């Protein structure tokens, strides 16, 4: 039977080298995407943005949820 990972069980092993709040540059490295695609995902609301002055930050758990949803 196929085991389905939840964001809670995947949180520890996935992207453990990254901080809890990540930047567009971090997300690009994590997912292997061009920064423009990351900006597009944020603009579309797929990756929720954390207000932080003029910088764009995203919670790592949101990136993990995006990966898990994309894999299904």
Tell me what pLDDT residue 48 has.
Answer: 96
In this predicted model, what pLDDT tens digit does every residue of 43-60 receive, in sequence order?
999 999 998 788 899 999
Mean pLDDT of the chain: 87
Q: How far apart, in whole angstroms, are the C-alpha atoms of residue 58 and residue 48?
A: 6
40 pLDDT exceeds 90?
A: yes
Token readout for 1 is: 């039977």
- Confidence band (pLDDT; 50, 70, 90) for 1? very low
| DSSP per position, the chain | -PPPPPHHHHHTTTTTTS-SEEEHHHHHHHHT--HHHHHHHHHTTSSPEEEETTEEEEEHHHHHHHHHHHH-
**Every domain of the chain and the residues it spans:** 23-71
């Amino acid at each position: 039977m196929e085991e389905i990972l939840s964001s809670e069980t995947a949180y520890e092993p996935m992207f453990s080298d990254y901080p809890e709040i990540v930047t567009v540059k971090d997300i690009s490295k994590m997912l292997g995407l061009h920064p423009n695609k990351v900006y597009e995902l944020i603009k579309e609301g797929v990756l929720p943005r954390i207000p932080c002055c003029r910088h764009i930050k995203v919670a790592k758990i949101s990136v993990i949820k995006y990966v898990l949803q994309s894999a299904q």
